[in-house]
Amino acid sequence: MTESRPVLVIHGGAGTIARADPAAEAPYHDALAAILAAGERCLAEGGSALAAVGLAVDLLEECPLFNAGHGAVFTSAGTHELDAAIMDGATLRAGAVAGLTRVRRPGRAARAVMDEGTHVLLAGAGAEDFCRRHGLEMVAPDFFSTEERRRQLAAAQAEGRVSLDHDGSAPLGERHKFGTVGAVALDRHGHLAALTSTGGMTNKRPGRIGDSPLIGAGTYADDRTAAVSCTGTGEVFIRAAAAHDVCARMAYAGLDLATAAEAVVRDALTPLGGEGGLIAVDVRGRVAMPFNTAGMYRGLVRPGDAPMTAIF
């Protein structure tokens, strides 16, 4: 059997990101490149697509530059509610969690739900009890807090708005950034996986759940077509079933990955007012990263190559 050439693709959110001087952009490029390098080692050593996306999202969740895990945004009540989902393209198994407040690594929580196999999506106190019983690391709720996110909440509440990540005083002059993180991968055995994690929206109503933990909306993987992770206006991505729609256009209309992904962003999301983008990789290792905003933090790597990162 011919082995596939592995690839890992990651994103750290999309939005109306203002251009800044290279020094301000450098920390984002450096963080993305370091995460890609770790994922490249995993895939080069024969790691599975599931292992690669899990490692990448672990590191994205620990980086306060992005809205997932440590550095997650605040709800209107001054709390954090974390969501994540994972899907295995080989088996169509999936796991997801929503509304976590004490689980350090929501991506691992989603993986635990998938591996346990009874349910696909667990939320709130029941999800946290599940994580505790399965030995996942628990933290105090303020572990996720940073002063930058607290300032963003204060600004959003002063203006009476809900923000999908940073306000105008944030790094890079970001005014409207969708801070979800995600990873998709193809491993040497030809298997695909996708994992998405988010802190949600600044000043969102407590209990709000977006597209990230909803299989088919913000996260999807199928070895017959592609693995997809989305970032953007969650409510619209839910209505458009955006992640699954990419795969459906490939399976039923015979579109290639790039055409299918671009069509979803342009024809399904944009007319509904949906802003954001997605990353995707297909079974042949082809990559798509379309977005309809000013920028999207993104990058990809293949074993033996240097990581590629981009914002605009």
Residues of the binding site for substrate: 208-211, 231-234
Which residues, at least 6 apart from 200, have a Cβ–Cβ distance to it below 8 Å?
A: 67, 72, 73, 75, 81, 82, 83, 208, 210
Going by C-alpha positions, the residue among 297, 65, 259 that lies closest to residue 308 is 297
C-alpha distances (whole Å) from 52 to each of 93, 168, 182, 260 are 17, 34, 11, 24
Binding residues, as ranges, are 208-211, 231-234
115 contacts 91 by C-beta, under 8 angstroms: no
Handedness of CA 240, 244, 246, 249 (dihedral sign): negative
Please give the structure tokens belonging to residue 216. 């088919």
Of residues 180, 225, 293, 309, which has the active-site annotation?
A: 180
Q: Which amino acid is at 180?
A: T
Rounded CA-CA distance 215/235 in Å is 14
Nearest by Cα to 87 from 264, 236, 214: 214
User: Residues 6 or more apart from 51 whose CB is under 8 A from it?
Assistant: 42
Known catalytic residue at 293 = no
Active site residues: 180
